[in-house]
Amino acid sequence: MNTTATTPIVSKPPALHQITTEDRSMTTRIDFRYLSEPDMIAAGVTDMPACVDAMEETFVLLHKGDYRMAGPNSDSHGAMITFPDESPFEGMPANTADRRFMAMPAYLGGSFGTSGMKWYGSNVANRDKGLPRSILMFMLNDTDTGAPLALMSANLLSAYRTGAVPGVGARHLARPDSRVVGIVGPGVMARTSLSAFVATCPMIDTLKIKGRSRSSIDAFTAWVRDEFPQITTILEVETLGEAVHDSDIVTFCTTGVTGDPATYPTIRREDVKPGAFLSMPAPCNIDAGMQTPDVRKVVDNVRLYEAWAEETGHPSHHTIPIIGCKFMDMIHDGAMAADDLVDLGAVAAGDAVGRRSDDEIVVFSVGGMPVEDVAWGTVIYRNAVAKGIGTILNLWDSPALA
C-alpha cells in the first residue's frame, strides 16, 4: 500500500480542534467556510494522484471498520427521493431519467475524523439547459459538536473521488505494464477514471473510445490530447466489443434505463484479453463466460452491496445496475460462492491478495460511498484553511436557543 503521499495532506495535528473547527475553542461563535467551485479548484480538488491516495486510505479504514454510513447496517449508499411515473399533483414532477434527490451522510475515522453529507438533485433534462445532470453540494461537520466546518460545491469533489476509486483498483489489480485503455461512454466519469488510470499505470499510451455522439467523442479526444500527451494513439471504435478487445484496462461509463439487465452494456468473455482489469462504475452486465470462478470479482465494499440487496430485495441487479449487485444475485442463486467476492479494502490493507497472475481477469464494481466524499472533502477543506481559500460565513455569535 502506498500511503506516503497522503500523510502530509491528512495527518492529524496534535489537537483535534485544530483540524476540525479551525479556532473555536472556548467560544460559542460558529463560523464556517463556503467553497465555490473555483475555490475548490484552487484548494486542489482536481489533484488526482492525491485523491487516489486519499481513497486508498479510506478503503483501509473501511476494512478496519472505522467509519459509519446510513441504514441499519451503517453501510447504506444514502436516502433517495424519487417521483411517480404520473404525478397526481400540480407542481410535483413526474418521473423522468435520473430525476431524484439524494442525501448521502457518513463519518470517517482515522486521520480524517470528520462527518459530512452530500446532497444533490438530478435530472437528465438539465443538459438541455446547459447544466450538469446532477448538481451537488457537500457539508462537512465537526464530529464532536455537529457544527458546520464547510459548505462546498461538490460536483468536482464527487467526480474526482469517483474516478479515484478505479485508480485504487488499478493500483492493486491492473497489470503494472498496462498500456491500452478501452472506454465506453466518454463523459465526466470517463475523464476522471482515465486520470486515475494514468496516475497509477504510467505506461498507458493508447486509448480506444466508443461514444454515442460526435460532439462527446470530439470533446473527450481534445481533452485527452491536452491533458495526457503521453497517450499518443487514440482510436474511435464502433462497438462495445471493439472497446473491450485487446484492452488492458476497460471501463464502462454510460447511463441508461434501469430494470432489465439484458439491456445493460454487457462484457463478453470472448472479447476480454487475458490479464485485463475491468472497472465498472456504471450500468453493466456480464455473460456466462465472465461468471466463472476464474474471473476475479472485486467490489469497493461488500457491505454496501449487502445493504443494497436488503433494501431492494432479490434480484437487486434489476433495481441497481451496478455489476456488484449482479455478484450478490449470483451468490443468492448459488452461482457464486460468497467467499469468492473480494473486498478492495482488504486488498488495500494487505489482508487479501490483489492480482494473482498476469493472465487473471479482474472485474471491479464501483458503487460509490459517502465516506469517499468525506475523505476528499476533508483534505480539500484542510488545504483551503491552510491557504486561506474560501468565504467565511457566520452561523451565530451565540445560539438563540441554547
b vs e for 151-182, b when ≥16 Cβ sit within 10 Å of the residue's Cβ? bbbbbbbbbbbbbbbbbbbbbbbbbeebebbb
- Contact partners, residue 399, CB within 8 Å, separation at least 6: 28
Pairing of strands 30-35, 391-396: antiparallel
Three cell numbers, residue 225: 490530447
Please give the biggest Cα pair distance in the chain: 67
| Percent of the residues in the chain that have a pLDDT greater than 90, as a whole number | 85
| Percent of the residues in the chain that have a pLDDT greater than 70, as a whole number | 94
Quick one: angle between helices 155-173 and 370-387, nearest 10?
110
> Which residue has 479504514 as its cell numbers?
61
Distance CA 298, CA 285 (A): 14
**CA distances, 323 to each of 2, 291, 297, 298 (Å):** 27, 11, 10, 10
What single letter denotes the amino acid at residue 344? Answer: L
Distance CA 174, CA 366 (A): 15
Distance CA 25, CA 251 (A): 47
399 backbone dihedrals φ, ψ, rounded to 5°: -70, 140
152-200 pLDDT per residue, tens: 999 999 999 999 999 999 999 999 999 999 999 999 999 999 999 999 9
Task: Name the CA radius of gyration of the chain, rounded.
Answer: 21
Distance CA 368, CA 331 (A): 21
Eight-class DSSP state of 304: H
At residue 350, the pLDDT reads 96
- Contact partners, residue 380, CB within 8 Å, separation at least 6: 35, 40, 43, 44, 45, 152, 157
At residue 20, the pLDDT reads 44
Checking if the pLDDT of 218 tops 50, the result is yes
Q: Write down the mean pLDDT value for the chain.
A: 92
Structural domains present in the chain: 30-157+372-396 (3.30.1780.10), 163-369 (3.40.50.720)
Checking if the pLDDT of 82 tops 60, the result is yes
At residue 126, the pLDDT reads 87
Checking if the pLDDT of 16 tops 80, the result is no
Distance CA 40, CA 138 (A): 12
Q: What 3-state DSSP class applies to 204?
A: coil
At residue 132, the pLDDT reads 86
What single letter denotes the amino acid at residue 103? Answer: A
- Contact partners, residue 240, CB within 8 Å, separation at least 6: 184, 210, 265, 266, 271
Checking if the pLDDT of 19 tops 80, the result is no
Helix (H) or strand (E) holding 192: helix 188-200
Q: What angle do CA 55, 381, 345 make, to 5 degrees?
A: 15
- pLDDT band, residue 23 (cuts 50/70/90): low
At residue 261, the pLDDT reads 95
Distance CA 282, CA 96 (A): 18
Checking if the pLDDT of 244 tops 90, the result is yes
26-60 pLDDT per residue, tens: 689 999 999 999 999 999 999 999 999 999 999 99
The mean pLDDT of 332-337, rounded to a whole number, is 97
Checking if the pLDDT of 87 tops 90, the result is no
pTM above 0.95, yes or no: no
Distance CA 79, CA 82 (A): 10
Checking if the pLDDT of 291 tops 80, the result is yes
What single letter denotes the amino acid at residue 245? Answer: H
271-282 pLDDT per residue, tens: 999 999 999 999
The mean pLDDT of 378-399, rounded to a whole number, is 97
At residue 256, the pLDDT reads 78
96-144 pLDDT per residue, tens: 878 889 999 999 999 999 999 999 999 888 888 989 888 999 999 999 9
Checking if the pLDDT of 93 tops 70, the result is yes
